[in-house]
Amino acid sequence: MGLEIYLDLLSQPCRSVYIFAKKNNIQFDYKKISLFDGEQYSEEFGKISLIRKVPAIKDGDFCLAESVAILTYLAEKFNTPDHWYPADLQKRALVNEYLSWQHSAIRIHGSKILWLKLMIPKAMGMEVPKEKMDLAIENLEDALKVFEEKFLQDRPFIIGDQISLADLVAIVEIIQPVAAGLDVFENRPKLKAWKDRVKEAIGAELFDEAHKSIWSCQEYVETVDPKKFEPFKPKIVKYFL
């Protein structure tokens, strides 16, 4: 049995795994798990991941969740070009440093903005208190400042001259609030120039293909029936409001 990857490309960690596998010609069976249809709660997906989140993989009998674990597993198993996850101890440590930091920084705040700015008010028809939105934006801005000053500095990519897993994970997360209508690249020329380099290194076609569904989420929320989100409401309210 070959490699199966369980994904919903609306999700930023899914996009990093998808782009990485495609860019490195890793053959896999694409298993779509539609989060808004609640497919992560199905009995079948529960056998792949009890965490019930995407991405997840099944490689033969081996199941693995968590995008960072998946990306590093794929890099090692398929011996992808060194720049993605360098063998050099300190370069690899710097990639790991970013991958450890991002979860509670860019990822969480970027994702929050997508929900507070778009999904909760427009798709679910619920009011978002202004102070919640302001705090989420402030937190994201603080995280982007750390990203530029500590992680990027004046280098083309996070750990030097070539793209690594750190840049890939960063870009898919930074796109999330942009797709919700918050242009974080405006007035951040260094960030914008880095984004353009990352897109070029990935390849514009693959980059755009992976981001197609998240770019269309502003249209999606205008047409979706709010009843679709009823089952998720308690969880969303608890988590975001």
Ligand X SMILES: N[C@@H](CCC(=O)N[C@@H](CS)C(=O)NCC(=O)O)C(=O)O
Q: Which residues bind ligand X (CB under 6 A)?
A: 11-13, 35, 40, 52-55, 66-68
Residues 45, 33: Cα–Cα separation, whole Å: 8
Nearer to ligand X, 72 or 80 (CB): 72
Nearer to ligand X, 54 or 159 (CB): 54
166 contacts 98 by C-beta, under 8 angstroms: yes
Least separation in angstroms between CB 235 and ligand X: 7
Nearer to ligand X, 13 or 86 (CB): 13
Please report, for residues 66, 69, 129, the alpha-carbon distance to residue 14 in angstroms, rounded to integers and kept in the order given. Answer: 10, 12, 29
Phi/psi of residue 81, nearest 5 degrees = -50, 140
Please report, for residues 84, 174, 181, the alpha-carbon distance to residue 144 in angstroms, rounded to integers and kept in the order given. Answer: 22, 9, 17
Least separation in angstroms between CB 199 and ligand X: 21
Nearer to ligand X, 226 or 231 (CB): 231
Nearer to ligand X, 13 or 177 (CB): 13
Least separation in angstroms between CB 190 and ligand X: 26
Least separation in angstroms between CB 180 and ligand X: 14
Residues 37, 81: Cα–Cα separation, whole Å: 37
Least separation in angstroms between CB 67 and ligand X: 4
Least separation in angstroms between CB 4 and ligand X: 16
Residue in this structure with the two tokens 């994970």, named with its chain if needed: 169
Residues 145, 143: Cα–Cα separation, whole Å: 5
Please report, for residues 61, 104, 105, 143, the alpha-carbon distance to residue 8 in angstroms, rounded to integers and kept in the order given. Answer: 22, 21, 22, 25
Nearer to ligand X, 42 or 88 (CB): 42
